């Protein structure tokens, strides 16, 4: 029962976040950062993107998004309207949008941490807290990039190194936060 509730809640959180990101991306020429991740942007760019979104959707320029404005200008946002409108006044403020986005990000981060912990535990077959080259065999990503992921060159992958690798490889070909990660199937 608890597992069913957790899965349902997480699915709703992921769908809500995806829909919110899609609502941002669906408006005009606005581009979402790579993979829809705003953490690759600096704060100034994110604030500008957020202001542009509100300006595009808030057609009557009252600083709020009504249900009709959401339906007409951001259909993905309209689907989430009731969940975001916490004070139930029929208007979405920037504060409500920010609060909703933060909650969805926290839910995503929590689920991701749980997933990575479970994956690491499954790969660490001898339960020593590390993944050896032998334990990495059979995992294409870890096999191919083991030496790159093992940043301290001790011949094993720690949980911290594993988490960094899960975030992906960067523009210079090294490990970087925010990259594509382990990819589909990880």
In a domain, 97, yes or no: yes
Residue 113 lies in a domain: no
Residues 61 and 131 in one domain: no
137 and 184 belong to one structural domain: yes
Q: Are residues 40 and 91 in the same domain?
A: yes
Q: Are residues 102 and 143 in the same domain?
A: no
- Assign 64 a pLDDT band (cuts: 50, 70, 90): very high
pLDDT over 90 (residue 171):
no
| Residue 20, pLDDT above cutoff 50 | no
In a domain, 114, yes or no: no
Domain boundary among 108, 137, 153: 108
Let me know whether 90 and 131 are in one domain: no
Give the strand pairing for 130-132 and 91-92.
Answer: unpaired
Q: Is 103 exposed, middle or buried (0-12, 13-18, 19+ CB in 10 A)?
A: middle
In the chain, the number of structural domains is: 2
Task: Please check the confidence at residue 156 and state whether its pLDDT lies above 80.
Answer: yes
* Domain coverage including residue 87: 2-108
Residue 16: pLDDT band (50, 70, 90) is: very low
Domain end marker among 48, 76, 108: 108
Q: How far is 6 from 98, CA to CA, in rounded Å?
A: 24
On whether both 90 and 153 belong to a single domain, the answer is no
Asked whether residue 115 is assigned to any structural domain, the reply reads no
Instruction: Indicate yes or no: pTM above 0.75.
Output: no
pLDDT at 168: 66
Please state the length of the chain.
Answer: 186
Higher pLDDT, 67 or 175: 67
| 131 in the same domain as 77 | no
18 and 101, same domain (yes or no): yes
Are 153 and 74 members of one domain?
no
Of 166, 164, 170, the residue nearest 151 (C-alpha): 164
Q: Are residues 23 and 82 in the same domain?
A: yes
Return the percentage of the chain with pLDDT > 70, whole number.
68
Question: 53 with 89, same domain?
Answer: yes
CATH code at 58? Answer: 1.10.238
Q: Give a yes or no: residue 26 inside a domain.
A: yes
Q: For 112-152, what is each residue's pLDDT tens digit?
A: 899 999 999 999 999 999 999 999 997 888 889 999 999 99
Domain shared by 84 and 16, yes or no: yes
Tell me the pLDDT band of 165, cut-offs 50, 70 and 90: confident
- pLDDT averaged over the chain? 77
Q: Is residue 64 part of a domain?
A: yes
| pLDDT at residue number 41 | 66
């Amino acid at each position: 029962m608890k597992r069913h509730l957790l899965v349902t809640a997480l699915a709703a959180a992921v769908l809500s976040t995806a829909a919110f990101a899609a609502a941002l991306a669906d408006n005009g020429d606005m581009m979402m950062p790579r993979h829809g991740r705003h953490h690759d942007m600096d704060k100034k760019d994110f604030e500008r993107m957020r202001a542009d979104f509100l300006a595009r959707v808030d057609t009557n320029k009252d600083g709020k998004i009504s249900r009709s404005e959401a339906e007409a200008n951001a259909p993905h946002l309209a689907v989430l309207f009731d969940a975001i409108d916490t004070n139930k006044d029929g208007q979405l403020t920037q504060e409500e949008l920010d609060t909703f986005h933060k909650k969805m990000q926290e839910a995503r981060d929590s689920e991701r941490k749980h997933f990575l912990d479970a994956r690491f535990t499954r790969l660490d077959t001898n339960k020593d807290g590390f993944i050896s080259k032998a334990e990495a065999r059979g995992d294409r990503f870890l096999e191919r990039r083991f030496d790159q992921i093992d940043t301290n060159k001790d011949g094993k992958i720690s949980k911290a190194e594993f988490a960094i690798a899960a975030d992906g490889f960067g523009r210079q070909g090294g490990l970087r936060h925010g990259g594509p990660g382990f990819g589909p199937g990880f």
